[in-house]
Structure 1
Amino acid sequence: MNEPIKKIAVLTSGGDAPGMNAAIRAVVRACTYYRIECVGIYRGYQGLIEGDFEPLSGRQVSNIINKGGTILKSARSKEFMTEEGRAKAHENLKEVGAGALIVIGGDGTFTGGLKFIQEFNFPVVGIPGTIDNDIYGTDNTIGYDTALNTVVEVIDKIRDTASSHNRLFFVEVMGRDAGFIALNAGIGSGAEEILIPEKEIGIEKLEESLGKGRDKGKTSSIVVVTEGEKIGKSVFELADYIKEKYPIYDIRVSVLGHMQRGGSPSCFDRVLASRLGVAAVECLLDRVSGVMVGVINNEVVLTGLNKAIKLDNEIDKELLKVAEITS
């Protein structure tokens, strides 16, 4: 990073998350503020390989802060996993005159950025954008707060019908191997039980909890299940087992799926994305590379991309206790 940076490229990769557009907007506006150019890369690393670029100005990112998804699109790229693909991507960046790259996404996105640094010594900074909140080095990832609000709103609606028909609902939420959405949304919606990978309560504990509810005459309940939870092979298998064991319950399964990714980002996510977008540009202008920008205790912090990839964001043990007491 000997020469001053005159142009920064930005891409989004992996699963989309509400607030990614706000981050793109902040990157572009920060570049304008510091009088450097910005170029957007469509379809993530695949677009980088194919040279799918477009110059971005402040005017072009007007009225996108409130929109979900990502205007730059996202796509998986097997070609970028090869040395030849990455070499082609590097050549495209040089050809367009970009001196640095900002990548918005999660583990896979950061892994690609780290490879780029190691092989070409090309400056890269990461911005954490994923609803799962499973990235080390930040209290919240972009999109997580919006996803939580979406899940709580849906569970509130499900509870209305569960109470009306005396039903037990298993509600599956996203999170892969991380239970952040399930734990916080479960507490926020008053779920009777929360199943997350970080705390394997086992089928016996679930049966005990449902049994206590049954003994108290409770015939409607909400059980929030992370998609990565392994009590059963699937939430449907778990529901079938409980139905056979407790025929008193009229059981339903609701898989919330990709609705959790969509929607207008919350104010929290818009502000977070704006802070991180500006911080990413400032890092590169200060000749700092190979880091992810995050916010911890309301302060912007930098974490090495290697740490962000390798280390896990830990579940708050206090919240686990709160869930146990209030469920």
Structure 2
Amino acid sequence: MANIKCIGILTSGGDAPGMNAAIRAVTRAAIYSGIEVKGIMRGYRGLISDEIVPFKSNSVSNIIQQGGTVLKTARCKEFQTPEGRKVAHEALVREGIDALVVIGGDGSLTGARIFAQEYDFPVVGLPGTIDNDLMGTDLTIGYDTALNTIMEAVDKIRDTASSHERLFFIEVMGRECGFLALNGAIASGAEAAIIPEMSFQQDQLGDLISNGFRKSKNSSLVLVTEGDITGGAMAQAERVKNEFPQYDVRVTILGHVQRGGSPTANDRILASRMGAAAVDALLDDQRNVMIGIQNDNIVYVPFSKAIKKNKPFQEDLMRTLKILSI
């Protein structure tokens, strides 16, 4: 068992519902094991500016239901430099922190991996991102809540789309990963999803139109993943206006509403399991790993694997969406 007496926790990058549940789980699991806990405010920036506070069991009371993160989060360019990471390491040593739990997405875990290697420092990551784009885990913290937020929003947009017989392009988050758009489309009964994974293979919008896009329906909804690969909802709508002016087209960009709100039961349970597992991993002398979940079992995923790009999506989901949209 590793000789760890104090664990530091930070949240970094974009916030995700369930981060507070993870903070709570790490804190209480560590205290249960006789380990001191310190919260690091504002991610890696807080390490460099020495914004570190002691955490007790009551520090995390009544936060499991809250969205966002009580530790706050920020992006930190200084931590991307060797000089910045040196200042961060000096702060950890000065505070007596023996190990670090980092809750965040791809960029956060990339920083954690570099830091852990440079200073041979025990770091365990938790996948906190609504995009669900980290390898080695079936789900990330925040994804289920964001998906439910999208579903509820699309349900409401459908009322207007039907009333006015319009074609709506609805932009969701995800960047290079189309899980939110694809599963959001299935869950809300949308007609199609335009996702990055398919954009290199085919002209998704052209296929939809040529295959009798709206068929007998008086309205249609298409979910589009944000970003340069798909062009986003505005670009897709502009193309339809130019090439198919007979359609009455509207755009809704859901934006940051997808990141907020009280986490679902699934995200609270996932974050709690992963947070407790992070402490177990450190006590088991694991380092440079992300806690993941596969087939409902906790797994340890090396950072080098977790942060690889192009997490595969299930192509049968696209087929399911196509079949059900007739």
Shared fold, TM over 0.5: yes
Q: How far apart, CA to CA, are the structure 2 residues paired with 1:162 and 1:40? A: 46
Deviations 1:57-104 (A, max 9, x none): 111100000000001011111111111110110010011111000000
> Is 1:83 matched with 2:82?
yes
**Tell me, which stretches of 5 or more residues in structure 1 are unaligned?**
none
Q: How far apart, CA to CA, are the structure 2 residues paired with 1:240 and 1:291? A: 44
Q: For the Cα contact (< 8 Å) 1:12–1:104, is it kept in 2?
A: yes
Q: How far apart, CA to CA, are the structure 2 residues paired with 1:62 and 1:104? A: 19
Q: For the Cα contact (< 8 Å) 2:19–2:142, is it kept in 1?
A: yes
> Is 1:243 matched with 2:241?
yes
- 1:229, distance to aligned residue in structure 2 (A): 6.3
Q: For the Cα contact (< 8 Å) 1:13–1:75, is it kept in 2?
A: yes
Equivalent residues in 2 for 1:1-80, closer than 5 Å = 4-80=3-79
SS for the counterpart of 1:194 is strand
TM-score (norm 1): 0.95
- 1:305, distance to aligned residue in structure 2 (A): 0.6
> Match for residue 262 of structure 1?
260
> Is 1:292 matched with 2:290?
yes
Deviations 1:239-280 (A, max 9, x none): 122123333322110000000000000000000000000000
Q: For the Cα contact (< 8 Å) 2:133–2:311, is it kept in 1?
A: yes
> Is 1:282 matched with 2:280?
yes
Q: For the Cα contact (< 8 Å) 2:39–2:55, is it kept in 1?
A: yes
> Is 1:99 matched with 2:98?
yes
Q: For the Cα contact (< 8 Å) 1:7–1:37, is it kept in 2?
A: yes
Q: For the Cα contact (< 8 Å) 1:128–1:135, is it kept in 2?
A: yes
Q: How far apart, CA to CA, are the structure 2 residues paired with 1:184 and 1:147? A: 11
> Match for residue 160 of structure 1?
159
Q: For the Cα contact (< 8 Å) 1:131–1:143, is it kept in 2?
A: yes
Q: How far apart, CA to CA, are the structure 2 residues paired with 1:179 and 1:224? A: 10
Q: For the Cα contact (< 8 Å) 1:196–1:228, is it kept in 2?
A: no
RMSD: 1.4
Q: How far apart, CA to CA, are the structure 2 residues paired with 1:315 and 1:3? A: 37
- 1:111, distance to aligned residue in structure 2 (A): 1.1
Q: How far apart, CA to CA, are the structure 2 residues paired with 1:319 and 1:228? A: 21
- 1:301, distance to aligned residue in structure 2 (A): 0.4
Identity, in percent, stands at: 56
**Tell me, which stretches of 5 or more residues in structure 2 are unaligned?**
none
- 1:313, distance to aligned residue in structure 2 (A): 2.1
Deviates further, 238-247 or 91-100: 238-247
Deviations 1:160-207 (A, max 9, x none): 110011111000000000000000010111111110011134132022
- 1:116, distance to aligned residue in structure 2 (A): 1.3
- 1:3, distance to aligned residue in structure 2 (A): 6.4
